[in-house]
Chains A and B, each alone.
Chain A
């Protein structure tokens, strides 16, 4: 219950993470590592709302894409990257807040939540694909339809538009962003807000009988997840130097879900591990053409749902004998894991 061991755990995890991130450039190129770190942030965003809030979002890609497009559009219009970065976080946050409010105040259940988030993602995807031509422009930025928006200013040192951040420096920015997001999420989950969020996941009816407004709290959590996904989108845009409607695709959403499932829900390390391992595997697979990439991603998803419902983190935890075996098996809600104590191990 006391906050101290939690705090120490967080520092240990952050220090270990920082060490790994600092040493990683010895074994791989920072260009590749950057995108893996971005994936890890994206995975954390869903890992937070799904693993701890029990909210299964089939459209996390919507916030990711929204962050990336917001950044690209704002960067073209403004030139300097500081405000675009903030907008790239704020816009998806606000959008997720509104969408979440509509869904949670409407008391939509799991399946309908899935439908709505999926549909919203599709709307973005189709709309962005259809925005070719000069009619679709926001300020100076043309949306560009299927081809997306290329050639916007990438990240720069705040206030110094000429000092662009790329390669090693960009990797450092991504690494710091990941550590910050991780620390933020740990702090959030250890705070009363996070504990109530988990309580709502466990038993929404009881949380309400205790006097907690589950709808409001789920909406806020969902918005935080949206903001984090937006940050990942911003970084991705600056990494790829182009944003395309593919960011909003269902395959993108599926990938995020796969990272979380394969890595292990209900932990924070799980989604990060899942994103990095699968992201790197995808990078390696991209260099061969014998087996289709999508096929492998799909097969991994099917197999992990069937064989490894608690993911890599769950398997590792069990192997170390630290995961207490459950005597009872209550019904699963929204595929969410039921152990909260995993929070200590994340």
Chain B
């Protein structure tokens, strides 16, 4: 029974972390049809922002929930102005440029922080469930994810801004038709997506030993979750994260973690082959 509880927590955590790492990418892809391949490096920056500021004496919660999103949001703004804006509408070129950007950021991080592992200890200690030790911080990650999803839903469904965003997702020229400057909408979107990414990087920082190349591990999973999810923002990433998370955890428990990772990737391939428009491309038509 205890084992079942532990496994359930692990599965929920793995789904939640997939959602968390994909949210920023999904916002940017959904709104702008831009795939940011520097997404993983944005998370890496969020992680370093958290660790550096926490080590400098900032409260650890402030560091991960405020400093990290703001830092990465600002980085995102700069990137949008200098690179993305120039290439808007050229999907493949954007992917290539952001891939280049990701290499630049890895290189910069290596020069600044070196190739050593940085980390902070989780601010929540574990607890025992029967004979098993449960990582309390994992539960915090789940809570953050749920709050994040709820607020994304609320913004999209209940506010004027959300209405505008949903309109833009359906039709790219909607913002202009409604009298908004698309340039500003895209800038705001990229900022928001980057900030979400920074938040994910910050929140996950205590769980990983951070190295400059950490991002590469994230981008593939986030990328896959978003593309597999398809057109609908929230329903898409929740459904694909659930499928992928459950499958990878099942294989992880049955064999070993690397098989879980490979299973996740293979599942994504199969899903894409069966549903080329993503999971929500066929079954859901609403843009939330």
Contact = CB atoms under 8 A, between A and B. Distances in A.
Report A-B touching, CB under 8 Å. yes
Interface of A: 56, 102, 106-112, 114-116, 118-120, 122-123, 126-127, 129-130, 250-251, 254, 257-258, 261, 291-303, 305-306, 309, 332, 334-335
B96 A305 contact: yes
Interface string B100-113: 11111111101100
Given A112-B272, A119-B224, A299-B104, A306 B262 contact: no
Contact of B258 (A102, A107, A130, A302): A130
Nearest to B223: A115
Interface stretch (B17-25, B87-95, B177-185): B87-95
Contacts of A111: 35, 91-92, 95, 227
B96 A126 contact: no
B269 A116 contact: yes
Interface of B: 35, 83, 86-87, 90-93, 95-97, 99-108, 110-111, 216, 220, 223-224, 227, 256, 258, 261-262, 265-266, 268-269, 272-273, 276
B96 A261 contact: yes
B91 A110 contact: yes
Given A294-B110, A295-B104, A332-B90, A114 B262 contact: no
Contacts of B102: 298
A298 B265 contact: no
A118 B101 CA distance: 17
Contacts of B262: 123, 126-127
Contact of B273 (A102, A114, A126, A295): A102
Contacts of A301: 96-97, 99-100, 103
B269 A119 contact: yes
Contacts of B91: 110-111
30 contacts: A106-B272, A106-B276, A111-B91, A111-B95, A111-B227, A112-B227, A112-B272, A115-B223, A115-B227, A119-B224, A126-B261, A126-B262, A127-B258, A251-B103, A257-B96, A258-B100, A261-B96, A292-B107, A294-B107, A295-B104, A295-B107, A296-B107, A298-B101, A299-B104, A301-B96, A301-B100, A302-B101, A305-B96, A306-B83, A335-B92
